[in-house]
Amino acid sequence: MEWSVIDSELYETRRSCVVHYRGGEGVGAVAATCSASELRVAPTARLPAPRAAPRRSGTLGPRCARFALPSTHSFRDALSRRPASASFVRAHSYRVRSSLRTTYFTSFKMTESTDTPAAAAPEKTPTENGSTETPAEETPEKATEEKEKEVPPPKEMRAVVLTGFGGLKTVKILKKPEPAVAEGEVLIRVKACGLNFQDLIVRQGAIDSPPKTPFILGFECAGEVEQVGEGVTNFKVGDQVVALPEYRAWAELVAVPAQLVYALPAGMSALDAVAITTNYLVAYLLLFEMANLTPGKSLLVHSAGGGVGQAVAQLAKTVDNVTVFGVCSKTKHEALKANNNNIDHLLERGSDYTSEVRKICPDGVDIVLDCLCGEECNRGYSLLKPMGRYILYGSSNIVTGETKSFFSAARAWWQVDKVSPIKLFDENKSLAGLNLRHLLFQNGRTDYVRRAVDAVFSLWGQGKVKPLVDSTWALEDVAEAMQKMHDRKNIGKLVLDPSLEPKPKPATPAKGKSGKEKKPAKESSEEKKEKETKEEEKKPAENGEKNESKEKEKESS
């Protein structure tokens, strides 16, 4: 029987609501559940006696039958958002003390008949006393409970979850349901994850358009393909890959769109993959796509001891006669010099490094790569030669404390001079910026990024670049790894390994009922006497040894 919806009113309850409709034979109602995107309708076998509903604006009035029935045997009926004909329906969804939301739906068909034969009488079973009793009828609630018992619980995985924006305490290791691979996606069993400074900015909530918490952190992971979604032809189960998803990378399993997954060359491990991909991809785009690095040029890079800084130094040395200035903390200079350093001149962060650069290159440098922002923008621009290029690829100066600081962000913005195009025209200089996250997820330049990744992997295969890994951490120790990056103590890449066991935590002293640490129990009088007797016995022995040594000294003299 086809029912044309004229008007309806949805009352949100736990599992059901009321839908008013009118068909060719009269007025009726079905139970339904509604959500933001769809309407689930359940035609009922038998309708109870209708009662007149009070007249409301937007309803059919007293003629409309109104029922509240459970939606146990519901089926999904796709409904359009725009009226397709004159028989469209306006659905009003009410919530307590909330505004009215209006959505338009088209008519739908009821495929099940509302007339069903009467159910057969239940059979009576004899008991021991000779009497008969009827078996208990199965209610819909019991049927649903049995179905829930039959369905196995979903498999779970460990994941690094951000429960709220703020400090390190908001980062927790939780159990999450394993993701299901969708069309065009690849399911990866993660073997290594990359920690980047962008993850610290996300944790504080200082990144643009962050997702709602809680969510799984991470932008970089590598592992083995476990399942391939429909429509994916360039990957198969067992392939070793690295992926750059937008969040959700720090987990044991991750489903990633195939255009953000890259096959690893032969011989590259998952650890090397996460140490290379993001850092060397950014460095490659900075040097060869934006700065146009050629033989004989000079460049200055900030955070030279970090993952991107080391990648820039290595890639720059693949070009002949390139001079590299590196700015980093004084504590990192010795370690960088001892570790096959590719930086020609190391400069101390926080010092007047511009004057040091001018002593070596009076005209300045050709390229400045800045990941700090703030006042470093003005210093970097002042160091440029004519035809020089300043490129901003980060803003780590806004991360000063453990939590987000509006003052630091405002100060970083205020300290940057506003440069007009006319000034650039007069001075023959240029400014540029690189945001890899926007390039991938907002600009959609996945093919462009894939060509750069292939070029980086080719350089690794030729032995021209070698990633520098600072340390590897278990997922449970991610807070400690974040703190190390925040303190700028890492030299190279920080990597998370899901297979590692967490570090043992130091034992904390037991606390009493009052919350204070327990003091050692007082010694009994007998224990005190025993200690005193032992000390007295030791003293004469020590005195005898001293006398013997003195006599030997006299005899020798």
pLDDT of residue 140: 59
Q: Which among 68, 91, 80, 81 is positioned nearest to 9, based on CA atoms?
A: 91
pLDDT of residue 53: 41
pLDDT of residue 503: 87
Q: Which among 157, 224, 168 is positioned nearest to 191, based on CA atoms?
A: 224
pLDDT of residue 141: 60
Q: What are phi and psi of 108, to 5 degrees?
A: -135, 170
How much is the CA Rg of the chain, to the nearest whole Å? 36
pLDDT of residue 154: 81
pLDDT of residue 34: 43
Q: Is 357 exposed, middle or buried (0-12, 13-18, 19+ CB in 10 A)?
A: buried
> Helix or strand or coil: residue 463?
coil
- Residue 459 is encoded by which pair of tokens? 């350089």
pLDDT of residue 375: 85
3-state SS string for 53-110: CCCCCCCCHHHCECCCCCCCCCEEECCCCCCCCCCCEEEEEECCCCCCEEEEECCCCC
pLDDT of residue 171: 96
Say what the alpha-carbon torsion angle 351, 356, 357, 362 is, to the nearest 10 degrees: 140
pLDDT of residue 383: 95
Burial 501-528 (b: 16+ CB within 10 A, else e): eeeeeeeeeeeeeeeeeeeeeeeeeeee
User: Measured in whole angstroms, how far is the alpha carbon of residue 467 from the centre of its chain?
Assistant: 24
Say what the alpha-carbon torsion angle 161, 164, 170, 175 is, to the nearest 10 degrees: -30
> CB atoms < 10 A from the CB of 358, how many?
15
pLDDT of residue 27: 38
Calpha distance 16→140 (Å, rounded):
14
- Per-residue confidence of the chain (557 residues) as pLDDT tens digits? 333 333 333 333 333 344 444 443 333 444 444 443 344 444 433 334 444 444 444 433 333 333 333 333 333 333 333 333 333 333 333 232 233 333 333 333 333 333 444 444 445 555 545 555 555 555 656 666 665 556 677 889 999 999 999 999 999 999 999 999 999 999 999 999 999 999 999 999 989 889 999 999 999 999 999 999 999 999 999 999 999 999 999 999 999 999 999 999 999 999 999 999 999 999 999 999 999 999 999 999 999 999 999 999 999 999 999 999 999 999 899 888 887 678 999 999 888 999 999 999 999 999 999 998 888 888 999 999 999 999 999 988 777 777 776 666 676 666 677 888 999 999 999 999 999 999 999 999 999 999 999 999 999 999 999 999 999 999 999 999 999 999 989 999 999 999 999 988 776 655 555 555 555 444 445 555 566 666 655 555 555 555 555 555 555 54
